[in-house]
Amino acid sequence: MEIEASNQSKPFVESIKFILDFYFGTIEYTTISTFADQSTQKFDLKNAVEILKSFHLTTLQRTMNPNDIPEHFYPSIIINTENDILVCCKKSNNVMTVFNPLTLKLEALDVTLLSHYKSVLLIVKDSESNSSITSKYTKPWFFEPLKSHWRSYVEIGILTLFINIFALAIPLFTMSTYDRVVPNKAYETLFVLASGTLLILIFDIILKHSRNHILENVSRKLGSLWEEELMRKIILTDTHYDHLTTGSKANLFKELQHVRDFFTIRSLMQIIDLPFFFIALSVIYIISPTMAIIPLLISIGIIAFNLLMQIPIARLNKNQSHTLQTKNSFIFESIQGTESIKVHNALPHKLFSWRNIVALSDGIATKIQSLHVFSMNVSQFLVQVVVISVLVVGVFEISKQHLSVGGLIAITILASRAIVPIVNLSGILIRLKDVGESIERINHFFALPSENTHKIEAGLGKLEGKIELKNVSYSFHKSKYPSLENISFNIYAGERVGIIGQTGSGKSTLVKLLLKLIQPSQGSIYIDNHDLSTLHPVEIRQNIGYMPQDPFLFNGSIKDNIDLSKPINKTKMMEILKLTGLEDLIKKSGQGDGLNVGERGANLSVGQKHLVALARSLVNQAPIIILDEPTTGLDVGLEKKLILNLKNNLSTEQTLLVITHRFAALDLVDRVIVMNEGKIVADGPKEKILQALQNSTQKGSV
């Protein structure tokens, strides 16, 4: 095991194993290693938290003395500044029993010795009430990352307060100059005031820079946390409920970008100075209470106007989001289906649809744009109205000797500046509803059940490979007829079974059930007598080598495509390549196993793609091997060679399930199950079944 070898990772791996073993029995190292950072084979605290989360253990990171860990949080991980790790298991009097991941032993230590372990990872097992239903309302994917940065918000708040106070410097300096310096020719005061103001401005620029830096950091981190959560969710959504098109899913990232943009510096900068409005208003009030009414009234006017504008804009945005989803799906499909569009001369027809979609989305976008511009123009007009009104009212106030000339100038500057955050705020208000809806749409997706939200057991270990189905039925979402109906069979460990049947008879659906990609609508599946519904998907898939009927290859080398879950060494890779017959391709390429397969494996032939997928399924030597149409796209010679290779190389302990249309592939198996319209119509020794099939064909009944 590669990650065991690495010194840095070992304490984390062992500690996590200790904790998972505590909750679930024995957990394999391979299960843990699937969560390691595959590029470096490193396993750190982040990976540890991830794996605990995936096993439904909630983690809380705290800075505290290990002595203060409440009892119900044992076992907990503690870490000191040198990154040494211990697992606290028990405390009696002043003695803490800890598991040391370096020695793999339990040690009894005096709690005072542990005081430099300041960082604590508390672990609790989720209660069942913690279901996806509550998450629909609480939006943990959105708020958790936000909450985790509260310290930065406090810092930003303090900096902002100072920046806003500093903004008073220029208007107050101006007022003093007009009212004190000019009449008294107090040049000394002027220089003192000027240098003081300059100093404040220098502080101002430093504070603004720091604030910007913190904001940038927070928004970048927030964004990447949200994006990671979304990516994880997209992959882990339960297949049964997963009906969004590729385009719509990609659109979720666009929506998230929208949300990210909202929380970035530019827009936050606009509202962050809102306190200045109140500070400036108070100062104006102090100079002249009457004058303060003007900016106050006009700001209320600006906000009310923009809130009204929000209504039509939000409605348009909703339509636009729908149109953009359609557009995105269309783009994805057209790019993927370029060749089909060409060869079937479908271009004019496709372009016609495209033109409609583009026209619709452009129409909406123009309307939204013009409403935005209109609201901006009106807001700007109102800002100028503030200046005019201040001057007009100010003149009368001066004549009544309620105000000095310097005071009027200061108020003019203050009022026109105070109104700026209000105008900005109204721009934000218009977007707020829109962003809120983006968050709702993403949240809608997050509310779909994930693969492992059900109550699970873990600690499966390596299976023997016995499979049992009891009255299993399955209907796809919204489909009228069951794709599988009342399927029951027993497959013993090491048995080799062929599944044959007409197209659409439910063979591939059966395999998806075994992989827990979908779950039976009725009945139960057992692997080694464990009910599949109680097992962790990661542990099941570790025990199954699966080759799908339409393999998906990732852009990259053949090697990267074969050892997807964890790297394997050169010798093993060569063995696999030889076994699958990919060796010839590699030799001819001159690039070894670094040969690039292209996007979706476009540089390979259909048969070669299948061979890569076959290699993937064999690479981990799983106890159960499932091959769905393994010889698709192979010529007769290659097919024969491959089957012979497989026959000789699969161990007798490995359970083999082969779904096939080809008689040649049945050479691999001893038993055949025949399916028709979602039911099993025959099951027995190969010779007997084939004989029976032949007879019935002769009779013309099939």
Ligand X SMILES: Nc1ncnc2c1ncn2[C@@H]1O[C@H](COP(=O)(O)OP(=O)(O)O)[C@@H](O)[C@H]1O
Which is nearer to ligand X, 333 or 437 (by Cβ)?
A: 333
Amino acid at 41: Q
Q: Judged by CB under 6 A, which of 41, 328, 505, 620 binds ligand X?
A: 505
Among the residue ranges 39-47, 309-317, 506-514, 606-614, the one whose residues contact ligand X (CB under 6 A)? 506-514
- Using alpha carbons, select from 80, 53, 52 the residue that is nearest to residue 66: 80
Identify which range of 401-409, 502-510, 565-573, 688-696 contacts ligand X by CB under 6 A: 502-510
223 binds, among Mg ion, ligand X, none (CB under 5 to 8 A by kind): none
- Closest to ligand X by CB, 479 or 571: 479
Q: Which of 507, 609, 616, 671 binds ligand X (CB under 6 A)?
A: 507
Shortest-Cβ-distance residue relative to Mg ion: 508
Q: Is residue 509 near ligand X by the rule CB under 6 A?
A: yes
Residue 296 CA: distances (Å) to CA of 161, 266, 422, 431, 481: 20, 25, 10, 23, 66
Please, what is the minimum distance in Å from the beta carbon of residue 237 to ligand X? 14
Distance, CA of 369 to CA of 540 (rounded, Å): 52
Least Å distance between CB 507 and ligand X? 3
Query: Which alpha helices (H) appear in 519-630, and where do they start and end?
Result: 537-542, 558-562, 570-580, 583-589, 606-618
Q: How far is the CB of 688 from Mg ion (least distance, A)?
A: 24
CB of 526: closest distance to Mg ion in angstroms? 23
565 binds, among Mg ion, ligand X, none (CB under 5 to 8 A by kind): none
483 interface partner picked from ligand X, Mg ion, none, CB below 5 to 8 A per type: ligand X
The stretch near ligand X (CB under 6 A) out of 91-99, 329-337, 370-378, 504-512 is 504-512
Quote the least distance from Cβ 509 to ligand X, whole Å.
3
In 3D space, the residue among 653, 659, 641 whose CA is nearest the CA of residue 580 turns out to be: 641
Q: Does 503 bind ligand X (CB under 6 A)?
A: yes
User: Does residue 504 belong to the site contacting ligand X (CB under 6 A)?
Assistant: yes
| Among residues 145, 171, 421, 506, the one that binds ligand X under rule CB under 6 A | 506
**C-alpha distance from residue 452 to each of 151, 238, 488 (Å):** 33, 8, 25
Query: Would you tell me how many other CB atoms lie within 10 Å of the CB of residue 103?
Result: 9
Whichever of 368 and 658 has its CB closer to Mg ion, that residue is 658
Q: What residue 509 binds from ligand X, Mg ion, none (CB within 5 to 8 A, per partner kind)? A: ligand X
Contact pattern from residue 465 through residue 494 relative to ligand X, giving x for each residue in contact according to CB under 6 A and a dash for the rest = -----------x--x---x-----------
Closest approach, Cβ 661 to ligand X, in A, equals 9
* φ/ψ of residue 462, rounded to 5: -85, 135
CB of 511 to ligand X, least distance (A): 8
The angle that helices 289-336 and 274-287 make with each other, rounded to 10 degrees, is: 170
3-state secondary structure of 669: coil
Per-residue contact track with ligand X, 255 to 274, x per CB under 6 A? --------------------
Q: Is 508 in the site for ligand X (CB under 6 A)?
A: yes
Those residues whose C-beta lies under 8 Å from the C-beta of residue 646, and which sit 6 or more positions away, are 579, 668
Q: Residue 56 carries which side chain, given as an amino acid letter?
A: H
Tell me which stretch binds ligand X (CB under 6 A): 49-57, 259-267, 269-277, 499-507. 499-507
**Residue found under tokens 């697992």:** 87
Distance of CA 644 to the CA centre of its chain: 43
- The residue among 462, 311, 297, 444 whose CA lies nearest residue 385 is 297
3-state helix, strand, coil split of the chain in percent (to 5) is 60, 15, 25
Rounded Cα distance, 320 and 143, in Å: 26
Q: How far apart are CA 260 and CA 138, in angstroms?
A: 19
- Residue 504 interface partner, choices ligand X, Mg ion, none, CB cut-off 5-8 Å depending on type: ligand X
Tokens linked to 364: 């909406």
Is the CB of residue 170 less than 8 Å from the CB of residue 138?
A: no
Residue 527: beta bridge partners? 467, 530
676 touches Mg ion (CB under 5 A): no
Task: Please report which helix (H) or strand (E) contains residue 474, including its range.
Answer: strand 467-474
Region near Mg ion per CB under 5 A, out of 40-48, 91-99, 110-118, 548-556: 548-556
CA distances to 387, 492, 501, 691, 701 from 694, rounded to whole Å, are 96, 27, 14, 5, 10
Nearer to ligand X, 508 or 519 (CB): 508
CB of 650 to ligand X, least distance (A): 22
Between 446 and 474, whose beta carbon lies closer to Mg ion? Answer: 474
Stretch that binds ligand X, among 269-277, 404-412, 497-505, 694-702 (CB under 6 A): 497-505
Answer for which of 508, 533, 589, 596 binds Mg ion (CB under 5 A) is 508
Instruction: Give the residue ranges of DSSP H helices in 167-288.
Output: 169-176, 182-184, 187-236, 246-262, 265-272, 274-287
Instruction: Give least dist CB 549 to Mg ion, A.
Output: 5
Q: Assess 569 for contact with ligand X (CB under 6 A).
A: no
Helix spans in 6-124 (H): 10-24, 29-33, 45-54
Q: How many residues bind Mg ion (CB under 5 A)?
A: 3
Residues of span 3-62 touching ligand X by CB under 6 A: none
Residue 476's binding partner out of Mg ion, ligand X, none, with CB under 5 to 8 Å set by partner kind = ligand X
Residue 630 binding: pick among ligand X, Mg ion, none (C-beta 5-8 Å cut-off by kind) = none
Centroid of chain to Cα 499: 37
- Contact by Cβ (8 Å): 226, 142: yes
Q: Is the peptide bond before 289 cis (omega within 30 degrees of 0)?
A: no
Question: At what angle are helices 570-580 and 636-649 packed, to 10 degrees?
Answer: 130
Contact between 660 and ligand X per CB under 6 A: no
**125 to 164: interface string for Mg ion, x by CB under 5 A:** ----------------------------------------
Q: Which does 326 bind (CB under 5 to 8 A by kind): Mg ion, ligand X, none?
A: none
For ligand X, how many residues bind (rule: CB under 6 A)? 11
State the minimum distance, in angstroms, from the CB of residue 532 to ligand X: 18
Alpha carbon distance 682, 702 (integer Å): 13
Nearest residue to 76 via CA among 95, 92, 62: 62
Minimum distance from residue 114 beta carbon to ligand X (Å):
54
Q: What is the C-alpha separation between 17 and 33, in angstroms, rounded? A: 11
The window from 231-239, 371-379, 401-409, 500-508 that contacts Mg ion (CB under 5 A) reads 500-508
Nearer to Mg ion, 473 or 508 (CB): 508
| Residues at the interface with Mg ion (CB under 5 A) | 507-508, 549
| Residues at the interface with ligand X (CB under 6 A) | 476, 479, 483, 501, 503-509
